[in-house]
Amino acid sequence: MSGQAIAMGAGLFLNLFIGYKYGTSSLGVFNQSLAYYLILSTLFALGLNNALIKKISEKTRNTTEENRLFTGNLMTTFVISTTLSSFLALVLFYFPNLLSSIELAHIIPSMLLALPFFTLNKNFGAYYNGNRKQKSVAFQRIYRWGGLSLIFITGGLFEYSLYQLMFSFLVIEGSLTILNISLNIRNFNFNMSFELIWDSVVFGMGSYISEITSTFNSSIDIIIVAYFLTEQEAGQYSFIAFFVRTLYVFPGILMQNITPIISFLWVKKEIARLNSKLRKLRKVNLILLSVQFVFLLVLYKIIILKMTNGFESTYIPFVIALLGSFLFAQISWGGSILIMTEKLKANFQRTLIVLLINIIVCTSLSFSLGFIGSVSAISLNALLSFLLLKTFVYRQTEIRLI
């Protein structure tokens, strides 16, 4: 909870700080680059972080095997992410017009430098999560987002450009990697087994496409709208999208903590016990979401009254986007159930359908209706995601999400 609170607070600060100091257009570029960062980190991770959570949380291996698996995943991830980041940087150097703006093409290479370290830290986080070391998972969030906020506000005081400030991602992820290595030096075993690595890759690839489509679903809209809206409108959209997606923060906490429990109880075939836990979880989630919904309505109104440089006309679009998202947030914590119960094909089908719908709805509404169409797409896509997740999970596992 504390880790997510810091992350959410830092995200709020960064959006307000950049929007106020550098303007709505720069805020749009920042959030677009962050969307690429999250998508590419998922692409380059090959699902090995999911494999690590699954196989560590099962506790079917001895400590030596776990350490060999852990080390093998880290080494594989780093080599692949470094290679792909270098290749993409080369492509963008020669073809910058592939992106929606020259400003974005100028910033993305600095993010690519941080990507290999970010993917490594995702694996460290997966290792902590599989071992139920949630304080360590929380620390990573606090270090990452707290550190980024401190660097941005310090750099802003010294009048650094947004381009210069984006190198803070490399500083934070690089130093976090060093810290993670030092904390886990005893857990490394370089007597790696090709069989263990291959087993992780097979499982990781099974969940890989699903994770990619899931990440695309949460980030691709910010990239798409930039091709159809003005720079200012793209900044306004990303500002609204940030606040709306804070609805998914607490469900995200629930998903992170319930994921290893789902895997453990499913393997033990204790389905009744699992459903009992999920019933309690649903009630708590609904209560907190309702409080947060009202809080966001009030908070957003107060903020845009203070920030008059391009945000004052966004309240109604914000409410439109919030409504559908509130419904989906009630069950969004169930997104990992199909993975942890090894229904990988079904999860792939679900996330692929959601992604295709997301792209079609976002593109068509942004193209035809402009800014109001883009924010309406947030709400409509959330409603459709709700129906698909609820249906797929129940049909495959008989677990009720609502």
Provide DSSP, 322-364: HHHHHHHHTTGGGGGHHHHTT-HHHHHHHHHHHHHHHHHHHHH
**pTM assigned to the model:** 0.78
At residue 391, the 3 state secondary structure works out as: helix
Tens digit of each residue's pLDDT (9 = 90 or more) over 195-206: 777 776 776 666
Instruction: Provide CB contacts within 8 A for 58, sequence distance 6+.
Output: 263, 264, 267
Rounded CA separation 296/318 (Å) = 10
Report if residue 121 sits inside a domain: yes
| Of residues 90, 100, 95, 111, the one with CA closest to residue 41 | 111
pLDDT at position 204: 66
Confidence of residue 143 (pLDDT cuts 50, 70, 90): very high
Compute the mean pLDDT over every residue in the chain, rounded to the nearest whole number: 88
pLDDT in tens, 44-94: 887 788 778 877 776 666 778 788 888 888 998 899 999 999 999 999 999
Which of 129-138, 144-153, 355-364 shows the lowest per-residue confidence on average (mean pLDDT)?
A: 129-138
- Of the given ranges (133-137, 148-152, 328-332, 398-402), which has the lowest mean pLDDT? 398-402
Where do runs of H (alpha helix) occur along 168-228? Answer: 168-183, 194-225
Give backbone dihedrals phi and psi of 77, rounded to 5 degrees, phi first.
-60, -45
At residue 2's C-alpha, the angle toward residues 127 and 111, to 5°, is 60
Q: Is residue 132 part of a domain?
A: yes
The least confident of 114-118, 155-159, 237-241, 345-349 is 345-349
pLDDT, residue 59, reads 66
Query: Does pLDDT of 308 surpass 70?
Result: no
How many degrees, rounded to 5, is the angle at CA 178 between CA 175 and CA 180?
110
The Cα angle at residue 328 between residues 323 and 330, in degrees rounded to 5: 105
- Both tokens of residue 394? 């129940």
What is the arithmetic mean of pLDDT over 157-164?
92
CB 192 within 8 A of CB 71: yes
- Best CA proximity match to 78, nearest among 55, 49, 36, 35: 49
Residue 208 has pLDDT above 90, yes or no: no
57 to 131, 263, 330, 340: CA distances (angstroms): 6, 7, 25, 10
Q: How many CB atoms lie within 10 A of CB 278?
A: 21
Give residue 263's pLDDT.
Answer: 78
Q: Give the range of the structural domain holding residue 19, as residue numbers without chain letter.
A: 2-397
Please give the residue that has the higher pLDDT: either 308 or 49: 49
CB contact set of 128 (below 8 Å; sequence gap of 6+): 134, 136, 137, 140
Residue 51 within a domain:
yes
- Is residue 96 a part of any domain in this protein? yes
Block residue for tokens 């204790």: 270
Residue appearing with tokens 């991830």: 77
Distance CA 31, CA 231 (A): 12
pLDDT at position 180, please? 95
Mean pLDDT value of segment 133-157: 93
Domain count, the chain: 1
**Using CB atoms within 10 A of its CB, is residue 20 exposed (0-12), middle (13-18) or buried (19+)?**
middle
Mean pLDDT for the stretch of residues 363-372? 96
What mean pLDDT comes out for the span 113-130?
Answer: 92
150 in any annotated domain:
yes
Q: Say if 249 falls within a structural domain.
A: yes
pLDDT at 383: 95
- Confidence at residue 278, expressed as pLDDT on a 0 to 100 scale: 86
Which position has the higher pLDDT, 339 or 369? 369
* Confidence label for 207 from pLDDT (cuts 50, 70 and 90): low
Residue 313, domain member (yes or no)? yes
Looking at residue 225, its pLDDT comes to 94
pLDDT at 335 over 80: no
Q: What is the structure's pLDDT at 191? A: 83
402 within a domain of the structure (yes/no) = no
